[in-house]
């Protein structure tokens, strides 16, 4: 009879997310993964699969923990569309010059690092990015920025790249202001 799992699956997935987010697919060693999760290689394989599967779990967890709240906020009709976009872009200002901010966006990183070589990663990343794209489009519908939804979407993810590259909060505030000017 198999032993029942003796770990918090959500905590392990969160740890996996952070290891791959910080180090990337190639840079994440099993030593990093085992230290972060507290599980040995055999337990990781038995519970989650190989390194590719661990990476997919990390991408899924990132989409749930970091993208889903943004999508929910963009759908919050108690705020104006401009306020919702301001809140979205403010997350970039807040991320500037922080340790996690310098990790970039796991989805952006995966799009560049692994999507060209792995159809499953490409699909997961495309689905997650499209979810935010649709939320932005719905958010700005019937506003002066409606025809600029694609620009807002790309400015948001481009902003993550800027934060990863070390741009300052001041630069990110200017970036946010330029995006908000699309409502004028």
- The number of beta carbons lying within 10 Å of the beta carbon of residue 145 is 22
Rounded to 5 degrees, what are φ and ψ at 144? -65, -15
- Taking the C-alpha atoms of residue 85 and residue 68, their distance in angstroms, rounded to an integer, is 15
pLDDT category, 3, cuts 50, 70, 90?
low
Least confident stretch, 5-14, 15-24, 29-38: 5-14
pLDDT tens, residue by residue, 79-135: 999 999 999 999 999 999 999 999 999 999 999 999 999 999 999 999 999 999 999
Q: Is the pLDDT of residue 1 over 90?
A: no
Taking residues 65-76, what's their average pLDDT? 97
Return the exposure string of 116-138: e unless at least 16 CB atoms fall within 10 Å of the residue's CB, then b. eebeebeebbeebbeebbebbee
Taking residues 23-45, what's their average pLDDT? 95
pLDDT category, 2, cuts 50, 70, 90?
low
């Amino acid at each position: 009879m198999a032993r029942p799992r003796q770990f918090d699956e959500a905590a392990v997935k969160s740890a996996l997310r952070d290891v791959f987010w910080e180090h990337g697919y190639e840079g994440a060693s099993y030593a990093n993964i085992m230290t972060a999760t507290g599980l040995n290689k055999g337990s990781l394989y038995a519970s989650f699969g190989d390194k590719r599967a661990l990476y997919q779990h990390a991408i899924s967890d990132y989409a749930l923990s970091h993208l889903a709240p943004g999508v929910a906020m963009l759908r919050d009709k108690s705020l104006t569309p401009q306020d919702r976009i301001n809140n979205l872009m403010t997350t970039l200002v807040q991320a500037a010059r922080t340790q996690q901010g310098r990790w970039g966006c796991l989805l952006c990183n995966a799009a560049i690092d692994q999507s060209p070589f792995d159809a499953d990663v490409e699909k997961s990343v495309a689905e997650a990015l499209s979810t935010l794209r649709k939320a932005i489009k719905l958010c700005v519908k019937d506003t002066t920025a409606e025809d600029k939804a694609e620009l807002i979407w790309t400015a948001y993810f481009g902003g993550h790249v800027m934060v990863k590259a070390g741009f300052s909060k001041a630069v990110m505030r200017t970036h946010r202001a330029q995006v908000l000017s699309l409502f004028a």
